[in-house]
Each structure stands twice: as C-alpha cells, then as structure tokens.
Amino acid sequence: MSRKSASPQPPASRPFAYRNRTLHCDGASLTALAAEHGTPLYVYSAQQIAHRYQLFTEAFAKRPHTVCYAVKANSSLAILRLLGQQGAGFDIVSGGELERVRKAHKPALKKVVFSGVGKQIWEIDAALAADILLFNVESPAELDLLAARAQALGKRARFALRVNPDVFAETHPYISTGLREHKFGIDINAARALYRKAAKSKWLEAAGVSVHIGSQIRNVSPFAAALARVAALIADLRRDGHDIRFVDAGGGLGIDYGTHNFDPAAEVKKYAAAINKGLAGESAHLILEPGRFIVAQAGALLTRVLFVKQNGAKTFVITDAAMNDLIRPALYHAHHEILPVKQPAKPAKLELEADVVGPVCESGDFFARDRKLPAVKPGDLVLLLDAGAYGMSQTSNYNTRPRPAEVLIEGSEAKLIRRRETMRDLLAPELLP
C-alpha cells in the first residue's frame, strides 16, 4: 500500500518550507541541523505543537474541558513540558509515562488520566500516590485490584470505566479499538452492573465514563455515535445514584499524511461539533486525549542518503535511517512524504522511482515502495514528514543501532532535547557472567 508522491513541495499544514532552495523547520535550516547534530535526526516545531494544542482549547471553549495529551504519541520530556506549560493534562498508559510527566511538569500530575488494559501493582500505587485525576479502568479484575491497592494505601481512587461502544471507525485494524473483539474496554451493556458493584467499596469513587474507539480517524461521525451511547449510559448511572462528573471522549482524530489540502483548524471544529452532538445536553467535564493530531505534523525525520543502488530494473535509495528509527511504514504500511532538503532546480520534475530503504537486515526495512522522487545522490539529505507521532516513541536498538537525537525548534533556535545514543549507552545494562 504505497502512494506515489505528486509533488516535492511540502504541504502547507506543516512547519517545513523551502527558503533559498533549502528546507527549513520554522527558522532553522535542516542542512545546518544535520551538520551540527548528525543524522538520523528528529526535528520538531515548538510553535506548531503549541498551535495545535490551542486549536482544541479554542474549539471546546464553551464547555468545561481538559485536553490530556496522549503521551504515547511522543513522550519527549521537552515536548511534555511545552504542553504542560500550555495548560495540558496528560493521558498515560504506563508507570513510566507517569514518571515522565512528573519530571517534565509536576503540577500536571493532578490532570493525568491513566488508561491501559494491563496496569501493574507498582503502577497503580504510583498513580494513587500522585493523586492523579482519573483511572480509566478496562476490566472487572482491574477494578478489584484498584480497590485493593487504594485500601492498602488508604487512598480513595477516582475511576471511570472505559466502555466499549461497539462503534466501527474506518482506520487500520491495529489501531481500531471500539469493537467487541478488541482487547480494550468493557462492554457498554455490562458497565452499569459493574458501577453498582464498585459503589459497595468505600475505596472507589465512580467519577466518570471513558471511551476511545481508535486512532487516525478522519470521518468524525463515529465519535458522535460513540458519545451518544456514553451519554445515555451516564444518564442511567446518575439515576442509579452515581455522581458522574467526567466524560472522557478519548482521542483518535486523524491527520493527512499526504499532499492534500488539510486545514487543521477546520478539522478540529468538525471534531468538536461531532463530540458536542453526541453528548447533546450532557454537561459533565469533558476530557480529550489528542496525541497524533498535536505532534505528528510538527515533527519529521532527517536522514542522509548512503547509496543509490540498482538491482535490475529496481532502484533503491538507501538512507542512514532505518525501521528501528521509524517503524510505521513497516508496521502499518504507513505513508510518509519524502522531500529532498535541497530543492531541485525544477521542483515539479520527478526524476526517480525507487524504494527508499534503510540499512537494517530485514526486507521490511523500508520507508516507501516505488516512490517517485527528485533524483538524489549519496550524501544528500532527505526529510520524512509527519513523523512527530509514533516515530521516536516506537524506536528500538534493533541491529544494535543507536537511536537518533532530537531537536526542538523555537523560532530560529534549535535546542537539543535528546542526545544521540552511544555504544556505551546500548551496552551499559548488559552483564557478562
């Protein structure tokens, strides 16, 4: 599933643009960044991240809400601090992500929601000690464990059941979460009885209802359908005597990974309209969990061409970045636009059709198949767009490869926010008997 690029121009919704025929991120030259920090290199726009966050606060300004950024999308401490300073809360799925929030912006611990199907005792204890806003509980067994740990620590646990509304969203099957056959959530039809059971424990406080139907969803209608079912459940729960104060709508709003016209503000407005339609007259405090929409298009992966190889009729552009640096194309067959950092003299002319691949010893190590590109040669820099979400956060050390450095651009200033790993870093945890 690969698409052929129609143009080497960066789409307007990204912070990357050519100046004097050299690609920049805001005011920073990518050529200069590569010279200073090496490649592969993740590059992010602080301005774009802050702007995307503000789109949500503006779209939902007429109702009480908290935007809890989904840490799993990109867990860089500097990006978490940037968002925390903007006023964001955080959606976490592990104890490790809780610690990242603590280190990045400690005041935001009070605005943390903890999701995930396999919370461990130490993670629950840490979240209780931090007095987070809400546990999104995903099974009866987890609810029992939460009650037991709350009792052991002498703390009352605020929770929401993550209900599964059985709403289909058109997205990749690996990131669809709203159907009965998925591992996530609790059947919405079984939720009322579970809330009744929880009311018998003085260590549990039923404070909300949560839902999340998937990721990279472009048609907003499923959001409205899911929230309508949640609103009906909340009405039933209030009749049962539960003080439901929060409704967590999850995340999942998608972006355009291609070259089409994409208006982020209009997309968020449509999303807000769908959420408000689904909730109708429901006035509970709304929690939103955007991740990808905030950071994906703010970031890109900068890499250098090592070789251009011909195998019969097939051309391969081999870069110093690989699937361990950006696994989305191999994992999801995801599309990322690829741009030369030096703009061709004739930008509209696409001179090369090639597979863009990395050095890892796997046939699945590719960024694009049969992609039309401007001609490139060894030593040239190219940029993979829309890699700010699920790029660095899914990196690995496969083939004993150090993970990339990261830089955050603020105006024309580039701040190194993660140094490149060294061989010493990679080998440090290992022991020889």
For residue 361, indicate whether it is catalytic: yes
Neighbours of 361 (CB within 10 A): 9
C-alpha–C-alpha distance, residues 30 and 166, integer Å: 45
3-class DSSP state for residue 18?
Answer: strand
| Structure letter (DSSP) for residue 46 | H
CA 225 vs. chain centroid, Å, equals 23
Nearest to 360 by CA among 328, 333, 398: 398
Sequence-ordered list of residues with C-beta below 8 angstroms from that of 246, at least 6 positions apart, any chain: 133, 134, 160, 207, 208, 209, 284, 285, 286, 287
Q: Determine how β-strand 405-410 pairs with β-strand 41-45.
A: parallel
**Number of Cα atoms under 13 Å in the Cβ half of residue 233:** 32
Residue 372, beta-bridge partner list: 353
Q: Cβ contacts of residue 198 below 8 Å, gap of 6+?
A: 143, 147, 159, 204, 206
Catalytic hit among 361, 423, 427, 431: 361
Q: Where are the beta strands (DSSP E) in 144-223?
A: 157-164, 186-187, 204-210
Q: Write the CB contacts of 165 (distance below 8 Å, at least 6 apart in sequence).
A: 178, 188, 211, 213, 225, 226, 229, 230
Pick the closest to residue 371 from 390, 389, 385 (CA basis): 385
Nearest alpha-carbon partner for 170 in 219, 206, 121: 219
How far apart (Å, rounded) are the C-alpha atoms in residues 25 and 385?
11
Q: Spell out the residues 6+ positions from residue 84 whose beta carbon is closer than 8 angstroms to its own.
A: 90, 101, 104, 105, 107, 108
Tokens for 182?
Answer: 């998925």
**Which SS3 state, helix, strand or coil, does residue 235 take?**
helix
SS3 27: coil
Active site residues per annotation: 361
